[in-house]
Amino acid sequence: KLAQFELLKSSKNQKPLLLLDDIFDKLDDKRIAYLLKMMADGRFGQIFLTDARPERSKEYLKDIDTEKKFFELDLKLQENV
């Protein structure tokens, strides 16, 4: 994903939107720390990050000094009546 981001950024001369879906489940602690450092450095533009455990995302992102908004979806299965 990061290579694709860099390719689009250089070819379009602007920062593309970055979607990181359940990224913290897929990375080890070292890679998470590196990704968070890049986020803190302002390397990316707008980022959409999903996580099945929102408390984990909030904990990881608490020290990044940038605008953040958290949205939680309450998805309940409804039976057809």
Q: How far apart are CA 23 and CA 32, in angstroms?
A: 8
Q: How far apart are CA 28 and CA 50, in angstroms?
A: 17
pTM, whole model, 2 decimals?
Answer: 0.73
**What is the number of other CB atoms lying within 10 angstroms of the CB of residue 79?**
4
**1-20: average pLDDT:** 89
* Helix segments in the chain, DSSP class H: 2-12, 23-26, 29-40, 54-61
Label residue 70 by pLDDT band (50, 70, 90): very high
Single-letter amino acid code for the residue at 55: E
Is residue 66 a contact partner of residue 40, using CB atoms and an 8 Å limit? yes
Res. 9: pLDDT tops 60: yes
Q: What is the per-residue pLDDT across 11-44, written as a single tens digit (0 to 9) for each? A: 999 999 999 999 999 999 999 999 999 888 888 8
